[in-house]
Structure 1
């Protein structure tokens, strides 16, 4: 780790890219925490580049602990400055609840400007994985429960689908240019009409540092092995918010897992609904929580590489 330090004669200092790699917090968020909330105060080179000490990195890790407990980013600073002996407050989920309500209202009213602001703001202030699990997944679930046969539901669904496809695709594209990590393939299963869960899986995986190839549309199962081979990916992640058809679950997915040559994994609600169907197959069920799913994926890729 010290080989990345900027000054080997004193306490090591790390550039923002290295701090992002060590903590999992992207550089845009680190800058926002500094400028908007004063949560961290890095040193500067004569040219203005940020340099972070080990204490700064530990402070970032404490910030993440508070955010994971549901504390709004605007309230973290006062908690960081308290003595460690101060009793830990109970989680405060109001900030996430409020953000979900704002998102749902923006979708209800087809307010694309507001949706854009909320999307960019959330991903600037919070780690991507936390945004997915605490904001976007619950929001999508609430919307899908409400839509049903509701008048205007198709318009709202397609508007949100188009918005997320464009914004998430753009984020993944730019993140891929900066990453030299393993590449993975993310796609939706046939019964998921909107592909929301594949989009969220791709966003979370990109935020975790993977290079992501996102197939935006349905691909025949027979062509996935060729896609894996030609693209050189290290894993295939399939996502859905639906239970999926019995023939897909019992025959096509297990057959694909035998042929692919890399881990074939399930994420999203389908992983919870159908977990028991894959107990004696080569399909890896990662679960519905994206952070936990990606943690499991890391061990599967490492195991397959041996």
Structure 2
């Protein structure tokens, strides 16, 4: 039976998982807003489960509006207690305005503005699931940057700044997440033609958020050492990514041979999987696709977990 209930006035009440779906705020954040900051006060069932009224959901949306304006969460409660804005007030920005966020992110990279990158990363990760942040914000921006970088003056500086920024933020998250994760252990590697770590880092971020324990190497690893690395890291699967088609010999001969040597699945993720997937259909190499959340979902099924 659903936890959704009706109060005496026939006003619907929603369980925390439904509020998370409706607002995009994960349940951990909703609990923190309640316990640490007193921002919301849901009702409780006799068993202690939280139930949220429509007014609670509207309050969550107002909290998001203030956070999107750059207000620290510790200051939001005072603002919420003030009078409701009038209809003549300028409406707050739409928190799901992904296009606006993508433009701000591009501008921050162009300006080499690490402070704005930090704000955009932390805010998006606080308000949305990691998979949504990657597919709606970070991956499209990186795709657009790679299209225009080419031989553009200053492109390498922008690339390395963004890589260094994401390496630090993702590594911190992985360190803490791996302590608590109980899922399968993944070894993430990039293929030879991949120029930087950007796609690998986004893959690591989504994999960790999907419950996997993640190990990754930021340097190229010879293919003949991958079985040793997988064994020493106790990996349940090896994932390799690239934004390029890679050499035909690697795809058609070397990777299938490597998959036969491994005692765990060998998977391709990213544009290379979309480009070369058809060539791997009759091999032991699993092509998980280009969309990261969907790819990690397929991996769960592949591992039977």
Tell me what 2:242 maps to.
240
TM-score (norm 2): 0.73
The structure number with the bigger radius of gyration is 2
CA contact (8 A) 1:29 1:126 kept: no
Tell me what 2:217 maps to.
215
Tell me what 2:167 maps to.
165
Where does structure 2 lack aligned partners over 5 or more consecutive residues?
Answer: 1-14, 67-93
Where does structure 1 lack aligned partners over 5 or more consecutive residues?
Answer: 1-13, 45-50, 68-72, 76-91
Tell me what 1:256 maps to.
258
Q: 1:53 aligns with which of 49, 55, 77?
A: 49
Q: 2: distance between equivalents of 1:74 and 1:94?
A: 10
Q: 2: distance between equivalents of 1:55 and 1:153?
A: 50
Tell me what 1:274 maps to.
276
How does 1:264-303 map onto structure 2 within 5 Å? 264-302=266-304
CA contact (8 A) 2:65 2:95 kept: no
How does 1:119-130 map onto structure 2 within 5 Å? 119-130=121-132
Q: 2: distance between equivalents of 1:273 and 1:33?
A: 46
- The verdict on how the C-alpha distance between 1:93 and 1:227 changes in structure 2, with shifts beyond 3 A counting, is same
CA contact (8 A) 1:42 1:53 kept: no
Asked if residue 31 in structure 1 is aligned to residue 21 in structure 2, the reply is: no
Q: 2: distance between equivalents of 1:42 and 1:181?
A: 31
Q: 2:228 aligns with which of 226, 233, 252?
A: 226
Number of equivalent positions: 252
Tell me what 1:101 maps to.
103
Q: Deviations over 1:1-60 (max 9, x none)?
A: xxxxxxxxxxxxx999xx9xxx9947247636998996x64469xxxxxx972646x99x
SS at match of 2:97: helix
- The verdict on how the C-alpha distance between 1:217 and 1:28 changes in structure 2, with shifts beyond 3 A counting, is farther
CA contact (8 A) 1:26 1:127 kept: no
SS at match of 1:212: strand
Q: CA deviation at 1:170?
A: 1.2
